[in-house]
Amino acid sequence: HAPKDPIVSLHSFPHDECLTSALIERFLWKLVKSRHLLRIYEFALFLFKTIFLLQKVEISS
């Protein structure tokens, strides 16, 4: 049986970054609600912010 996770259906969408990120965000929130993965969600956000800041620093230097 194929899993009914939204992440699987991501591949059928056109490569629109806004759409994809919105779907991923919705998928993450479903995980947070169903399995209480708030800490993992926050950690992922922290990682994204850190990587984003590091890229900014690299570009500016």
pLDDT in tens, 18-61: 677 788 888 877 777 766 667 777 888 898 989 888 888 777 76
- 11 in a structural domain: yes
- 1 in a structural domain: no
- 37 in a structural domain: yes
Indicate if the pLDDT at residue 12 is higher than 70. Answer: no
**In sequence order, which residues have a C-beta less than 8 Å from that of residue 40 and are 6 or more positions away?**
31
* pLDDT of 44: 85
* pLDDT of 53: 86
The answer to whether the Cα torsion of 7, 32, 54, 23 is positive or negative is positive
Q: Which residue range forms the structural domain that includes residue 21?
A: 6-60
Rounded Cα distance between 11 and 3, Å, is 14
Query: Locate tokens 């993992």: which residue?
Result: 40
**Counted domains in the chain:** 1
Rounded Cα distance between 16 and 14, Å, is 6
pLDDT band at 16 (very low <50, low <70, confident <90, very high): low
